[in-house]
Chains A and B, each alone.
Chain A
Amino acid sequence: MEKLSKEEVLHVARLARISISDENTLEKYQYQLKELLDNIDKIKEVKGYDEELMFSPVDHQASLQEDVPGEMLSFQEVKKNTPHMKGNFVEVPVMINE
């Protein structure tokens, strides 16, 4: 059975911002991603009617809201599901190491 190289899987995982720290999982993905991508490749052989693209199934004009201020969420609500808070700030690890 064909498979992707480890480097190829790690490249794809990197694009998706997902780390793969387990060797067995990496090997499993080598086969599974290959199978999915092989099937997807079949699209290249399909001949279409024309070049028109369908971005959305709706024909109507996009429904846009009036640009007027609405009700605000309270700060308590906004931070309710935030995993790490420090005072009134969302806490994240160091972003710049300089």
Chain B
Amino acid sequence: MSNYLDLSIQEINNLLKKKEITPVDLVEECFRRIESNEDLNAFITLNKEQALEEAKALADVEVDNLLFGLPIAVKDNIVTKDLRTTCASKMLENFVPIYDATVVEKIKAKHMIIVGKANMDEFAMGSTSQTSYFGSPRNPWNKNCIAGGSSGGSAAIVAARLTPFALGSDTGGSIRQPASYCGLVGMKPTYGRVSRYGLVAFASSLDQIGPMTRNVYENALLLNAISGHDDKDLTSSYNQVEDYTRLIGKEIKGMKIAVPNYFMSDIVDSEIQDKVREVIECLKQNGATVDYIDIDYVENAVTLYQIIAMGEASSNLARFDGVRFGYSAPDAQNVEELYLKTRETGFGDEVKRRIMVGSYLLSGENAVTYYNKALSIRDDMRKSFRKAFQTYDLIIGPTTTTVAYSLGQDLDDPMKSFMDDVLVIPVNMAGLPGMNIPIGMNQDHMPIGLHIIGNQFEEAKMYQLASFLEKELNLDLDRKERS
């Protein structure tokens, strides 16, 4: 049985160029892996027939880039033309988009092949992917544990090496936290770096699409492919795209790194703190300086997030009315009843809770008391980050306070899904880039992640540090089970 997908992408690319293998070989191997790992429940929809057709059509196309012919999974809140996109919700169970998201156009332009749509929390609301209408994905390191969320399916897919690449989205940690729980590299780029056109909106001022991969280099390469200005996204940045691989492998001597005290406080498991301290020692030994600092308002980030994300969500999800697309409740006697019943039945509990609270927060005087106050503190937090970046190149800390925990734990606790993301939410608040890289295992052999935060548009510097640690730590992160 061939295992080409275990090779580095440079090796795969050489084999493709020499025509020793074809994209069909890669896609067939990918589906063999997917089919022998169905228990992970990592996909909502597979795209086998179309993927094989696309792979066949590449036979006579010149291999012109490193991503050529490689399989990729796309989170199911990113629209794909003629391929069902559900947002893991009953509301969109039968929704088939009529256009491609900009990121999808971009990966197709590189001749990557979409093999399926990845499971996730319903409308990306959650931290465990257990709010999915299609059941929870499982963590390949321990199938009784959560894969994290909301991009839990994308994380499980890459961790189990079903595909080398996945796209996720991150509103309050939804790429970085599951990447940490599953032991992979996940990047939430600077807000505005990657077009949000075609990403089903949750909280528009926080949402960002990003790459999830098995290693740092491949992550930077996928970011190269999906970045850039897009006229179709009002918030898309004009900032020029650089080659995000350009600093990979460069030494880190002289780099100035900060660790916020709050990120190493007693909210974090001691085993995780210890692992991060080992990394800090390693960085110091290699010529970096590491200081502990305070970032103002990070301890208020969850509250800020709840107000801003739920407020924006309540407005964004008002479009689901049972009229134009999506689920529509039968037998409604009037249009008001149609809205009420469609939304009661079409949305799951977590989504309904968030829409209800969001609607309340934006109603009447509450908009000033809560929403405007949150926007003001959000601005202050950004200022505090900016001040830190006047002195430091990067900020680091743990990505999560615990490792992945058991499926089913604390399902009825409405605060749990927010507290899981306490360390990653500040990054979305300030619009900064943040990434997770694996730095080791706990005593139960579950992955521990390091969170690297950069200044706006300084993703290349983050990859520099990440690649240094990846090489230095040299972890065996392959969770494949081969048939």
Find A35's partner among B98, B191, B235, B414 (CB 8 Å cutoff).
B414
Q: Which stretch, B111-119, B270-278, B325-333, B394-402, touches the partner chain A?
A: B325-333
Contacts A62-B235, A95-B334; is A80 near B98 (CB within 8 Å)?
yes
Query: Chain B interface: which size bin?
Result: 35 or more
Contacts A35-B414, A36-B306, A51-B376; is A18 near B382 (CB within 8 Å)?
no
In the bound complex, do residue A62 and residue B378 qualify as a contact, i.e. CB atoms below 8 Å apart? no
Interface centre among B297, B338, B360, B382 (most CB of A within 10 A): B360
Q: How far is the CA of A25 from the CA of B339 in the complex (A)?
A: 19
Find B302's partner among A39, A58, A97 (CB 8 Å cutoff).
A39
Interface residues of B in 214-242 (CB under 8 A from A): 229-239
In the assembled complex, which residues on chain A have CB atoms less than 8 Å from the CB atom of B231?
63, 65
In the bound complex, do residue A55 and residue B98 qualify as a contact, i.e. CB atoms below 8 Å apart? no
In the bound complex, do residue B235 and residue A63 qualify as a contact, i.e. CB atoms below 8 Å apart? yes
In the bound complex, do residue A42 and residue B383 qualify as a contact, i.e. CB atoms below 8 Å apart? no
| A17 at interface by CB-CB < 8 Å | yes
Q: How far is the CA of A63 from the CA of B325 in the complex (A)?
A: 28
In the bound complex, do residue B355 and residue A40 qualify as a contact, i.e. CB atoms below 8 Å apart? no
In the bound complex, do residue A63 and residue B322 qualify as a contact, i.e. CB atoms below 8 Å apart? no
In the assembled complex, which residues on chain A have CB atoms less than 8 Å from the CB atom of B233?
63
Q: How far is the CA of A15 from the CA of B343 in the complex (A)?
A: 12
In the bound complex, do residue B377 and residue A46 qualify as a contact, i.e. CB atoms below 8 Å apart? yes
In the assembled complex, which residues on chain B have CB atoms less than 8 Å from the CB atom of A97?
334
Q: How far is the CA of A80 from the CA of B230 in the complex (A)?
A: 26
Query: Chain A interface: which size bin?
Result: 35 or more
Contacts A33-B357, A43-B303, A64-B234; is A93 near B343 (CB within 8 Å)?
no
In the bound complex, do residue A43 and residue B300 qualify as a contact, i.e. CB atoms below 8 Å apart? yes
A96 to chain B, nearest CB (A): 9
| B3 at interface by CB-CB < 8 Å | no
Interface residues of B in 79-128 (CB under 8 A from A): 94-96, 98
In the bound complex, do residue A15 and residue B356 qualify as a contact, i.e. CB atoms below 8 Å apart? yes
Q: Which stretch, B133-141, B166-174, B256-264, B365-373, touches the partner chain A?
A: B365-373
In the assembled complex, which residues on chain A have CB atoms less than 8 Å from the CB atom of B205?
55-57
In the assembled complex, which residues on chain B have CB atoms less than 8 Å from the CB atom of A36?
306, 353, 357, 414-415
In the bound complex, do residue B347 and residue A18 qualify as a contact, i.e. CB atoms below 8 Å apart? yes
| A32 at interface by CB-CB < 8 Å | yes
Q: Mark A21-50, 1 if CB is under 8 A from B, else 0.
A: 100010011001101110110111010111
Q: How far is the CA of A32 from the CA of B327 in the complex (A)?
A: 26
Contacts A15-B363, A17-B343, A33-B353; is A95 near B335 (CB within 8 Å)?
yes
In the bound complex, do residue B314 and residue A16 qualify as a contact, i.e. CB atoms below 8 Å apart? yes
B218 to chain A, nearest CB (A): 27
In the assembled complex, which residues on chain B have CB atoms less than 8 Å from the CB atom of A62?
234-235
In the bound complex, do residue A48 and residue B380 qualify as a contact, i.e. CB atoms below 8 Å apart? yes
| B304 at interface by CB-CB < 8 Å | yes
In the assembled complex, which residues on chain A have CB atoms less than 8 Å from the CB atom of B40?
none
In the bound complex, do residue B339 and residue A28 qualify as a contact, i.e. CB atoms below 8 Å apart? no
In the bound complex, do residue A57 and residue B382 qualify as a contact, i.e. CB atoms below 8 Å apart? yes
In the assembled complex, which residues on chain A have CB atoms less than 8 Å from the CB atom of B321?
17
Q: How far is the CA of A17 from the CA of B338 in the complex (A)?
A: 10
| B379 at interface by CB-CB < 8 Å | yes
Contacts A19-B340, A19-B344, A33-B357; is A56 near B300 (CB within 8 Å)?
no
| B20 at interface by CB-CB < 8 Å | no
| B56 at interface by CB-CB < 8 Å | no
Find B338's partner among A13, A37, A64, A93 (CB 8 Å cutoff).
A93
Find A43's partner among B96, B232, B307, B340 (CB 8 Å cutoff).
B307
In the assembled complex, which residues on chain A have CB atoms less than 8 Å from the CB atom of B337?
93
Q: How far is the CA of A95 from the CA of B357 in the complex (A)?
A: 27
Interface centre among B324, B341, B363 (most CB of A within 10 A): B324
The 5 closest A-B pairs by CB, nearest first: A57-B431, A54-B379, A83-B328, A81-B325, A19-B340
A residues with a Cβ closer than 8 A to B are 9, 12-13, 15-21, 25, 28-29, 32-33, 35-37, 39-40, 42-44, 46, 48-58, 60, 62-65, 73, 77-78, 80-84, 90, 92-95, 97
